[in-house]
Structure 1
Amino acid sequence: MQELSTEEERHRTRKNFDRQLRELEQDALRMGALVENSCLLAHRALFDRDLEAATKIDTQDKDIDRFYRQIELGCIDLIALQSPVSRDLRLLTALIHMVRDLERIGDYAENLGEIAIKLFPYPVPPHMDRLQVMFARCQAMLALSLGAVSNLDAEEGLDIKAKDDAVDDDYDSLYNLLTRQTNIGTSLEPVMLMVLAIHHLERMADHATNIGKRVSYIVTGKR
């Protein structure tokens, strides 16, 4: 059997590396699609009072966690075995952080589903319309961040920051309204749950912003 030349071996190694790298990128996007769906289920649970949707998030979150562990280990293995440099190294290290951001967004979606279950016995809390606007902004930011990952678009990644400012404004406005609520009936729990909900949404937006910044870093090499 004829041995491969050094150049042929190098070419085969590079081809195998590129294939594994593409698979990790595709897995990250598949994980992102699951996270998007968890957010959609949380939205249905909160605003349509759909408890079945809330219970589905927990099962899906286990799939998200499996993707997270699988991608993280895959990136670490490629870094250890292939010693990538330049953009390839930036992509692998950024992917490790991105999937962590996605995993956290999935956790917050699960938390929002739990809040929906706890709110269900009560009348619809005040300011749900404004909460829905805030939630929609977060969903749009997640979609944009995943689009930036798919296209490796640095400009699109950085554009997400401006949208995060709007979510921060939503948080400040709703926090002030909720903590000054006087007509709360016999229980503080709905107001406390609403405050938790806006906190989770604000953190989801921060993680989507992080993903966009990481895409910019992959492309430009600048933090």
Structure 2
Amino acid sequence: MDINKIGHHISSHYNVELEDIRNSVLKMGGIVERQIELAALSFTSNDMEMAEQVIQQDDYVNRLEKQIDQACTEILAKRQPAAFDLRLLLSVIRTINDLERIGDEATKIAEMAIHLSDTEGKTRNEEYYEIQHLAELVMKMLRSALDSFARLNVESAVSVTAQDAMVDREYGSIIRQMVARMMEDPRNVRRTLDVLWTARALERIGDHACNICEHVIYMVKGEDVRHMSHEELERKIQG
């Protein structure tokens, strides 16, 4: 779909309102993406300044969600949009909810980093490569999901959902590794639980990225594809 569809109205002010909302979503997405990056780095490198940055950003992300939601509500009330415009606004409301949840998950990771630092001190015995790799996978998913939103690209949105299986496999691998460590040495239990909760937060971020892609498909195609597998999505879009 041509992205210029957003600015096709006779009222130039209406065009500006919709474009402002779209840009605000992308701004919110960029901030949340940075939150994930800093949270993962704070966890793997024991950098508490980064962790505090992530936690402090959470209030700003929450405010952005409220502002964008309010702007959408006002347009719904004033303009009574239909067809694509209505789907756009509904998709935006759903998308910012997922972005806010992603910000919450990033904050949890930062809090886990602080807890782990208190437990282990300044010296780490492990580098937590598996967490860094999982974080890179979900950041790639979110970046691609936001790009699909920006370009209204359904094919790109569908391709992102395929990456969720890779994230799930990586998450399962981390669980098996952590359980083995706990069995080998019960003294690892507290640290291992922090790693497991961090991996779970990253896996949930991947799920929210998939949700954003589903919102893009709904916006463009008018098809509700929630709860469909990647294979079902491909058949639905191609059909």
Q: Same fold (TM over 0.5)?
A: yes
- Equivalent-residue separation in structure 2 for 1:115 and 1:109 (angstroms): 10
**Which residue type is aligned with residue 172 of structure 1?**
G
Matched, 1:156 2:153: no
Contact 1:168 1:202 in 2 (8 A): yes
User: 1:21-100 residue pairs with structure 2 within 5 A?
Assistant: 21-100=18-97
The structure that has the greater radius of gyration is: 1
Contact 1:125 1:191 in 2 (8 A): no
- Equivalent-residue separation in structure 2 for 1:56 and 1:126 (angstroms): 23
Contact 1:101 1:211 in 2 (8 A): yes
- Equivalent-residue separation in structure 2 for 1:46 and 1:192 (angstroms): 13
Q: Kindly provide the CA deviation profile for residues 49-73 of structure 1, in whole angstroms up to 9, marking residues without a partner as x.
A: 1110000112211111111000011
User: 1:94-113 residue pairs with structure 2 within 5 A?
Assistant: 94-113=91-110
- Equivalent-residue separation in structure 2 for 1:36 and 1:192 (angstroms): 25
**Which residue type is aligned with residue 148 of structure 1?**
S
Q: Kindly provide the CA deviation profile for residues 161-216 of structure 1, in whole angstroms up to 9, marking residues without a partner as x.
A: 11111001111111122123223353521111111011101100000011011111
Q: CA deviation at 1:34?
A: 0.7
Give unpaired runs (5+ residues) of structure 1: 1-9
- Equivalent-residue separation in structure 1 for 2:143 and 2:111 (angstroms): 23
User: 1:118-137 residue pairs with structure 2 within 5 A?
Assistant: 118-120=115-117, 121-122=119-120, 124=124, 128-137=128-137
Counterpart position of 1:205: 206
Contact 2:174 2:199 in 1 (8 A): yes
- Equivalent-residue separation in structure 2 for 1:80 and 1:196 (angstroms): 41
Counterpart position of 1:142: 142
- Equivalent-residue separation in structure 1 for 2:173 and 2:46 (angstroms): 24
- Equivalent-residue separation in structure 1 for 2:15 and 2:70 (angstroms): 17
Counterpart position of 2:178: 178
Matched, 1:214 2:215: yes
Report the TM-score when normalising by structure 2. Answer: 0.84
CA RMSD across the alignment: 1.6
Q: CA deviation at 1:126?
A: 5.7
Query: In percent, how many aligned pairs have the same letter?
Result: 29
Query: SS at the partner of 1:222?
Result: coil
Counterpart position of 2:6: none
Contact 1:154 1:217 in 2 (8 A): no
Counterpart position of 1:15: 12
**Which residue type is aligned with residue 19 of structure 2?**
R
Give unpaired runs (5+ residues) of structure 2: 1-8, 225-239
Q: Quick one: structure 1 residues 185 and 46, their matched pair in 2 at CA, closer, same or farther if it must change by over 3 Å? A: same
Contact 2:40 2:131 in 1 (8 A): no
Q: Kindly provide the CA deviation profile for residues 97-150 of structure 1, in whole angstroms up to 9, marking residues without a partner as x.
A: 000000000111011001111112426466822222111101101111111111
Moved over 3 A (4+): 123-127
